[in-house]
Structure formats: structure tokens, C-alpha cells
Amino acid sequence: MKTLYEAASAIEAHMLVDLLKQEGLTAHIHGESLQGAVGEIPASGLVRLVVAEEDHAAARAVIDRWEATQVEPTPRATAAPARKSRGWAGLALGLVIGMGATYAMYRAPARIDGIDYNRDGELDERWTFSPNGMPIKTETDRNLDRKVDYVIHFDARGHIESAESDDNFDGVFESKQWLKNGNVEMTLSDTDGDGYPDMRSTFTHGILDTTEYINPASGKPLRVEHFALGVLKYADVDLDKDGQLDTRIQYTPLADMASKEPLPR
């Protein structure tokens, strides 16, 4: 293994590992645990990225491109001490500028690439990247009608955090998904096109747990289906539409009704 880069922090190191991974290169972080032990002492040189020797040249090229996008601090002229109120104003201005620069580096669109599946001159899958190479979003035209109908959003580390879709291709995004660690956690859908979500599904590690059919007027479920490994096990239903689930229906593995009994009030 060969040292590639000395990171200023573990956060920067992880960001660069993700950046290299997008290029098909594997990097490892050394010294991350040491940073927390040095307190207020600068941790320069403790956190390092290392790569296999045969990957060093290619990885170095990626780092060089990334460094070329970094904004160098502008030298400041020596000035007379300012009054305290002006000092606070300067601090606030500095924070605003810093936040703006951070957004520009990590979230502002800088490069677009993609795939033209049907070779009509239009990208059917469009990838948007930030100046430091992190993905921001992916837009897809799944039915090749030149209209985007599926969008994936990425967080600041390049991980998928949500997605939205137009599943009937009518130009309205009626479904949205939220993800954690690459797995779907929850979906909301507007199945009748009235502008209000009426179906909600929850997942554990990407595996379907429940699907709720919601009354848009009250926001309460009319029916809650429970699944195990994708198979419907039972459903709690509000048969009299009074806002309370009152009946449990058990199902066979083939989704035939096995039993029906009232729920305790």
C-alpha cells in the first residue's frame, strides 16, 4: 500500500474515499481513530488515504482534479482593529460566505453526463455532479417520451436520500421514497391524483413491512396490511369508516382470506 493523501479531517478523508470509489478505485483510511485522541491539536498528517501501488497513479490523478476545484483562501490585508460590533458583522459575513462556498462546492451543479438509450440525441438518463465530483441527482426518462419520470436525490456524501416518480407517465410525480443506507424506509403515493398521499408503505432494511391505505380527509388509515418476506399475512381494516381499525383479516400464503375477527376496542 502507498500513501495517497494526508487529509485535514476524517470527514474530508471519507469524502475522498467516496470520490475515488466513483472512479472504480479503492482507498483506505489510516489514522482515523487517532484524530479523536489529539484534542485541540491539529491532526495534520494523522489521517491518510492509502491505495494499492498499482492504483496510485490513477488515484493521484483523481485527487489532482479534485484539488484543482478547491477555492484558495484570499490573502487579507492588515487592518486596524475594528469596533466590536463591526467584528460581529464581519464574523456573520464570513459565515454566510463560508456557507455559500460550501454549498457551491458540494451541491451546486457543475457537470452533467448520462446515457441516450434510444440514440435520439436526448439523454434518457441524466447525471448531475457537484464541482468536487459528488452526485447531486439522477433524472431518468423510463418510457423514452423525452419527459423525466424518475428522479433520485443524493445527500452531501453522495448517498441516495430520496427518490420521486411519475409511475403512470402523466407528468405528475405522485410517489416519493425515502432511503437510509441505500435501502427504502418509506414510500408515499397519491393513487387517485387528488394531490394528497393515500398510500404509505414502510420497510425494514428495504423489506416491505406494512402498507397503509389512508383516508385523505382524516389522515387515518382505512386498511393496514402486514407482510413477511413479501407475503400478505393479515390486514387491520376500518369497516365502518369511523376512523378506527376494527377488524383483523388473516390470509393464507396464497392471499386467500383465512379468518376474520373484530379487534378489541
Domain ranges of the chain: 2-68, 111-262
pLDDT in tens, 194-224: 888 899 999 999 999 999 999 877 888 999 9
d(CA 135, CA 127): 7
Contact 259, 251 (CB under 8 A): no
What CATH number should be reported for the domain whose range is 2-68? 3.30.70.1530
d(CA 210, CA 201): 5
Q: What is the mean pLDDT of residues 68-86?
A: 50
Q: How confident is the model at residue 17 (pLDDT cuts 50, 70, 90)?
A: confident
pTM, two decimal places: 0.57
Q: How confident is the model at residue 48 (pLDDT cuts 50, 70, 90)?
A: confident
Q: How confident is the model at residue 93 (pLDDT cuts 50, 70, 90)?
A: low
pLDDT in tens, 223-242: 999 999 999 999 999 999 89
Domain 2-68 and domain 111-262 have a common topology: no
- Tell me yes or no: is domain 111-262 CATH 3.40.630.30: no
